[in-house]
Structure 1
Amino acid sequence: MNFPVAKEFLHNYLHKIDDRPIFDIEQPDYHYLKKLLTWTVKDSNINLCAATQTEMRLKIQIDFLNPSLFRFRATPASEVPAHPTEMVLKTNWPGATVRQKNNGESVEFETEQLILYVQKNPWSLQILDKNRKVLFDDYAYGTHREPFYVFPVGVRKQGDAIGFFQSGVLDPGEQMYGFGEKFGPLSKRHRKMLSWNSDATQTATDRSYKNIPFFLSSKGYGIFVNSTHRIHYEMGNPSFVSFSFEVEEELLDYYWFYGPRFKAIIKDYTRLTGRPEIPPLWSLGLWMSRAEYKSGKQVEEVAVRLRQEKIPADVLHLDPSWMRQGKVCDFVWNETDFPKPKEMLHKLHEQHFKVSLWEQPYVSRRSEVFAELDRKGFFLKKADGKTYLIPTFNHEYSGIIDFTNPAARKWYREKHLTLLKLGAGVFKTDMAEAVPEDARAADGRDGKALHNIYSLLYNQTVYEVSKAFSADHALVWGRSGYAGSQRYPVGWSGDPHSTWQDMACVLRAGLSASLSGIAFWSHDIGGFQGPAPSPELYIRWAQWGLLSSHSRCHGTNPREPWVFGEKAVEIFRKFDELRYALHPYLYSLAREASETGWPVVRPLVLEFQDVPAIYVWEQEYLLGRDLLIVPVFNPEGNVTYYLPPGNWLNFWTKEKIGGNQIIQESVPLDKIPIFIRDNAIIP
């Protein structure tokens, strides 16, 4: 890549992180709520009119969907907009009976589960449970913290741009979880974050492929911000006693959930934004891949070797080389290196392999089909109406498929349908984080509104055509995502380097994603990039990678176990066989996920929410409710882990061990600590 293109790629395609403060003492144009003026209650709905300290009027509508869930919308407009988004599926809710009580200086709105306590002047909002325990306080006290103010709820103006902010008290010991697939600490207290999807290019920074505007508080509530725009979060940073988020949109729209159990909140959140269907059984098998197999002959050799080595596997994946070099992604086979693709796919099918094909939602201008798509208006545009070209990873300027255009979606579906009829089994939906802010879509949206949600539209398009072709193909292997993306499994964690440290970051990302509503999640066993992993690192990654919801070996150099020696083959085979033996258990978890939204891979805090400081145990996880998995993140085999309360059975020795204890041990290369919950039924 030459330097000018590389510079444009880095600044436009990858997107710089914007870490400006929400409350900037050098930009003081803030309008925060100061007093409640009027209110009305009708059925499940509360309508408020309030004034800021500058006398700006804000209309607020609070709609109770059920007694423990409400939607909060605030706007400076004369009417509160309906504001439908692609993220929200369920709109018919039972509602709740709301009783009001005017106390003179305050007013209360009460359901069976919650009390909204509003102080009139000065404004403050508290949310209490039915026993009057404070769950949420919008931190009106922050207006006294001169000059480092934290304002409760209101509008930030900067030139013609308007954004909305919301703050809350952060209690001592309170932890925050979720926000999408984040590679840092599981608890997001003391973190500043940005919801703005990015080609993270690695897995060791705050950049994320899957930013999901949903988070959980250890106090037993959750918030889903119903916006596709950029969102800033300050969760106890810079203020240690409060949290804030700001939406770069002229409307504040969020849903507030009360559990108090996290499982109950996730159940309601996925009832609102959708749940996955049970993925095909074959997808629970091993996926073998490389970036990349260069020919059909090479793929067929790997297929034969897998069977010879008696390594169970169900899927072989082809990265971009299956298409012609320089002309991706037009879905035209590279028949020079993959001659007679139909015959190849049929041959692999007879060996009981599905074939996965890579794609990205960008079409190179060097492809013959580009001019036709350009003429038909199937790409995102610039303000002047010309097609928006972006530089992509393969050094090509490309157009971005406009999934808001029904005709473009139809063309895209037809390309996939052709491949499915040829014998393709599934598609790896890569990329989709590159929509520029100043792009224009067919439905009138600009890039600021489309950027985050684009990945949802992309994966939805591919998933739906695959499912329409056959229920046995209802799957994608997607990298980017947003709220609602859990409807279209599977998500994988992107491009980690092959290091011990990155491996730990990847697990944290999976646990963070699981608390963000993502039920099915995977990662590249062995890491994706950098020098080839050592045999020890490859084995340790495979051991827990084969005990994830889905399992795929992938990287820029070979990831087949025989590359790492006979010992690696032996250990890999043992854990792969264990995975296949666990298929009934995994399938039961898949069914549970489809019915509840609960993830297959779970942090300890999801099942043991009341254990003090449980959030620190982020290098171990539960596979479903009943299997505790402890990966090894160092070449010495040393592990320190927490065995949760209850009795557990050591998987290897069958010894029964009492929980609620910290264990330190060194484990041989062919094992990792695995425990079964007492009285569990595991095949």
Structure 2
Amino acid sequence: MSTHRREAEAKMLRHVERVTATAEAVWVDVQAVSATTLGAMPGWLTGEPFEDQGVETTMPNLPEDITVPPLDPEEWRLKISVHGPRTVRLVAAPRGSRVFEEKAGWLGIVTDESYESYQVHEADDIVEVSGESFSLTVTKYPFALVVKNTEGRTVARTSDRLRQVAGFPVAPPILHGQRGLSLNMELAGDESILGFGEMFGRVEKNGQHLELRTDDALGTGTGLCYKPVPVWHSSAGYGAFINTGAAVTADVGHRQPSVLGLGVEDEAIDLFLFISDDPAQRLADYTTLTGPSVVPPVWAFGYWMGRCRYHSRREMVDVSEGLTARGIPCDVLHLDPDWLVVDRLNTDFIWNEERFGSRHEFIMDLFQSGRRLSLWELPYVDPASPVYPELESRGYLVRSSADEPAALEGTPTPDGRSRGLIDFSNPDARRWWKDQHRAFLDDGVAVFKTDFGEGFPREGVVAADIPSTHLHNLYPLWYNAATSEAIAELTDRDPLVWGRSGWAGSHRYPGQWGGDAESTTAGMRATLRGGLSYALSAPGFWSHDIGGFFGPELTPGLYVRWTQFGAFSPLMRAHGLRPREPWEFGEQALHVTREWIRRRYEMLPYLWQQAHMSVREGLPMMRPLYVAFPQDPVARVVDDTFMLGQELLIVPVFDDSAEPVSRTFYVPDGEWLDMFTGEHFAGGQHHTVHLPLDAMPVLVRSGTSIPALEMPDGASNTDDVLYQPWHLRVFGGRNTVRGARPRDLVDFHGDPVDTRSLPARHVF
């Protein structure tokens, strides 16, 4: 067989040359050689001898002339460190790469940089690094990685074993090419992969090809993503996080059914693995590494109302009065860009007195009627704004490679003018941004809707010394952090934003919402899938726009069904291009939605309890069934229901008709009861129920006690129920709180609640 030389396409890690252990890490020096694909056939080859590559030279259809690249060896390093009893970090890059000089938190995602001790064992053919609950084995030649749990079961491995019929590897463990670095993991036959942020397709990602780059997605059905997060879970027993701001691709058995192919548009991969069979434990370990969320204020768990747009003070006051007159409690009214003088893709903090008069008086008017004010903002400034020249002269705007203000990308501007972007990496610009919020917060603004943020340009240059490949995806993190920090610094309360864009670490700055969903059943279904997928990657407080944001005229039936879904979501907000007030959809819709909004307020003690438990344990408040029932193979693929906290199973109804509808859903193991009807449901099977418009299944595990309150007539917001007595709704006849001790409950003022002192009500 003759061979010819051909140009290399990538570098492939092949041979471990030396191993060095220090107090913090094991350093593995690896030789990478040039590699190329086979052309029309799948597979890779190097300039090494064929027998070393595993090529089946006796195959009758193997081409006689195979072109191979020169070896051109390159020195690489693999750094292995242990960061918790179940957490191991692997950093692979060319020797001398900057990532080896930086701490884990250099990008602002990781907040806990502590190391733990480890054990290392080296033999002729392998090196093994062990922590308390795992072992990582590096095969020296050919280079490969295998991770095992404490029981010795393999939970993750690179895909070096996978080959085509002639023996050429189809997915080498680590490759470095023109588009960056790729890591290939072997997928077991029954392995499910979940996560990767707010993806609007099926929550089980097998068979999908995902692009993790923050985009103005322009909806939930475009294939784009507002909040991608390079965090995923495997049902084989591990979770993973790529510590990067660079764009990431995840091919989950799409091109090659047995391969999870991960690509990072960078020269390095910085990978954390969390080894546990329990996804809740993995999420807890991830939040230990990247920081916890915070519990929003009590009023945030009430009902929010908004519209794009309210155009005047009078219009918003009328809405507030209309809510009161119809007996609909509401805590927050949201005001979109009309509060600005220059109000198209611009935030310069210049209040529009012509439309809304005195800001303080306007906010006080709303507050007197029981409402707090939410204000829209984005991190872009229109050149038509009077503050733009000052921002430009001070260097507070993102620059281009030509050293002029860079132009927003990805979002069309209505007038053709480019928009400048605040450079949040510049400490002075960040302080300017925070200071602009001071007067608004002093006047009583409660929360800022941090809209957009996905438009950082590819050519953008910032003040911070961070490689350009990381900037686009880190920008939403910086933006939401700056506003959240402003609220925390300038008030005496925990901060709350309502953010659209995000990346790894964004869960620290609650809350987030699912972007601009279409007002259809498909849009509602995609919204839930996005929230469940995000929950597996960013544990915190996520919600959605009740009714969807745009699209066909919203039907009364779909508006009611979406309101029911929203009433049992972590946060509850109605918003859209057109009116979302309940009375806009007819008397039946008004009657039903009012009842479900009131049920929301009755559940405030449970929501408050679960919010605190979620933050304490590093879990999302809205959870896929997989988090609660990881050993159930059906539960891990269910994405049309969810757990709200640890006790409630919520079954949204995806229908746009006002007529009764049948709904089939899966109930996991155990005995369950409907919270409102007392109907029993046996676990481990599917059930079909017939539901009128006023019904949505909310199931409670038997043996559970749920704290609640009775909503008094005339109550207009959470302030009116803060001193209402709590009681227990007991399901299954046991007057206990499942798995809870008295310290697990705190009242709205932070004081512990002894559940033994609460009266029991509604015993099923």
Both proteins in one fold, TM over 0.5: yes
Partner of 2:684: 660
- More deviation, 502-511/57-66: 57-66
Classify the secondary structure of the residue corresponding to 1:451: helix
Give the 3-state SS of the residue equivalent to 1:140 in structure 2. coil
Q: Displacement, 1:420?
A: 0.9
From 136, 148, 169, give the equivalent of 2:156: 136
Question: Aligned partners of 1:135, 1:304: CA distance in 2, in Å?
Answer: 58
Q: Does 1:167 align with 2:184?
A: yes
Return the letter of the residue paired with 1:580: Y
Contact in 2 for aligned 1:456/1:482 (Cα 8 Å): yes
- Show the counterpart of 1:21: none
Instruction: Judge conservation of contact 1:604–1:615 (CA < 8 Å) in 2.
Output: yes
Residue 447 of structure 1: how far off its partner (Å): 4.7
1:34 aligns with 2:14: yes
Larger Rg: 2
Counterpart for residue 90 of structure 1 = 112
1:369 is matched by which residue type in structure 2?
V
Q: 1:126 aligns with which of 117, 123, 146?
A: 146
Alpha-carbon distance between aligned partners in 1 of 2:107 and 2:253, rounded to the nearest angstrom: 29
Q: Displacement of 1:392 after TM fit?
A: 4.6
Counterpart for residue 650 of structure 1: 674
SS of the counterpart of 2:356?
Answer: coil
CA–CA distance in 2 between the matches of 1:350 and 1:117?
65
1:432 to 447, 453, 475: 453
In the aligned structure 1, how far is the partner of 2:241 from the partner of 2:681?
A: 39
Measured against aligned partners, the alpha-carbon deviations of 1:625-662 in whole angstroms (never above 9, x if no partner) come to: 11111111123522110111111112222133321110
Contact 1:43 1:98 in 2 (8 A): no
AA in 1 matched with 2:311: K
With 183-192 and 614-623 compared, the bigger mean Cα shift is at 614-623
Percent identity reads 34
Q: 2:379 aligns with which of 342, 361, 364?
A: 361
Letter in 1 for 2:33: Q
Q: CA deviation at 1:144?
A: 5.1
Match of 2:424 in 1: 403
1:62 maps to 80
Match 1:477 to one of 498, 503, 512? 498
Q: Which residue of 2 aligns with 1:675?
A: 699
In structure 2, C-alpha distance between the alignment counterparts of 1:27 and 1:674, rounded to whole Å = 61
Q: Which residue of 2 aligns with 1:641?
A: 665
Unpaired runs of 5+ residues, structure 1, are 1-25
In the alignment, the residues of structure 1 paired with residue 158 and residue 608 of structure 2 have an alpha-carbon distance, to the nearest angstrom, of 42
For the 8 Å contact 1:178–1:215, the answer to whether it is kept is yes
Deviation at 1:242, TM superposition (A): 1.0
The CA deviation string for residues 378-409 of structure 1, in whole angstroms up to 9 with x for no partner, is 11011111111336544342110100111111
Contact 1:440–1:446, Cα closer than 8 Å, also in 2: no
Distance in 2 (alpha carbons) for counterparts of 1:471 and 1:667: 45
Q: 1:508 Cα shift?
A: 0.4
Residue 51 of structure 1 is matched in structure 2 by: 31
> Partners of 1:212 and 1:437 in 2: how far apart?
19
Question: What does residue 236 of structure 1 align with?
Answer: 253
Report what 2:126 is aligned to.
106
Unaligned runs of 5+ in 2: 1-5, 35-72, 709-764
Residue type of the alignment partner of 2:182: F
Partner of 2:405: 387
Cα displacement (A) at 1:615: 2.8
Aligned to 1:14: none
Q: CA deviation at 1:506?
A: 0.2
> CA 1:145–1:244 in 2, change beyond 3 Å: closer, same or farther?
farther
Partner of residue 286, structure 2: 269
- Answer yes or no: is 1:334 the counterpart of 2:359: no
1:202 counterpart (208, 214, 219): 219
Matched, 1:372 2:390: yes
Q: 1:533 to 1:377 in 2, by over 3 A?
A: same
- Looking at structure 2, the residues matched to 249 and 268 of structure 1 have their Cα atoms a distance apart, in angstroms, of 26
Answer yes or no: is the 8 Å Cα contact 2:342–2:385 preserved in 1.
Answer: no
Q: Which amino acid aligns with 1:668?
A: P
Which letter maps to 1:502?
Answer: G
User: Are the aligned partners of 1:285 and 1:551 in contact in 2 as well (CA < 8 Å)?
Assistant: yes
What is the TM-score normalised by the length of structure 1?
A: 0.93
CA distance in 1, matches of 2:381, 2:420: 5
Answer 1 or 2: higher relative contact order, Cα 8 Å, separation at least 6.
1
2:177 to 144, 157, 168: 157
| Alpha carbons 1:517, 1:597 under 8 Å: kept | no
1:77 maps to a residue whose letter is: R
Structure 1 contact 294–337 (Cα < 8 Å) conserved: yes
Q: Which residue of 2 aligns with 1:23?
A: none
Cα distance in 2 between the residues matched to 1:97 and 1:326 = 56
In structure 2, the CA distance between the partners of 1:281 and 1:42, relative to structure 1 (3 Å rule), is same
Distance 1:143 1:44, change over 3 A: farther
Q: How do 1:72-83 residues align onto structure 2 when only pairs under 5 Å count?
A: 72-78=90-96, 80-83=100-103
- Compute the displacement of 1:109 (Å): 2.6
Q: Distance in 2 between matches of 1:278 and 1:206?
A: 31
Cα distance in 1, alignment partners of residues 87 and 464 from structure 2: 31
**Equivalent runs, 1:477-626 vs 2, <5 Å:** 477-626=498-647
- Structure 1 SS opposite 2:354: coil
Deviates more, 1:212-221 or 1:107-116: 107-116
Question: Shift in Å at residue 329 of structure 1?
Answer: 1.2
* 1:423 corresponding residue in structure 2: 444
Residues 384 and 146 from structure 1, CA distance in 2 versus in 1: closer, same or farther, beyond 3 angstroms? farther
Do residues 312 (structure 1) and 323 (structure 2) align? no
Cα 1:469–1:98 shift into 2, 3 Å:
same
Q: Give the C-alpha shift of residue 150 in structure 1.
A: 3.5
Q: TM-score, normalised by structure 2?
A: 0.83
DSSP-derived class of the 1:283 partner = helix
TM-aligned CA distance change 1:36 to 1:371, over 3 Å: same
- Give the Å deviation of 1:213: 0.7
The amino acid of 1:510's aligned partner reads G
State the SS of the aligned residue for 2:286.
helix
Helix, strand or coil at the partner of 1:136: strand
Whether the 8 Å contact between 1:316 and 1:353 is mirrored in structure 2 is yes
**Letter of the aligned partner of 1:426 in structure 2?**
V
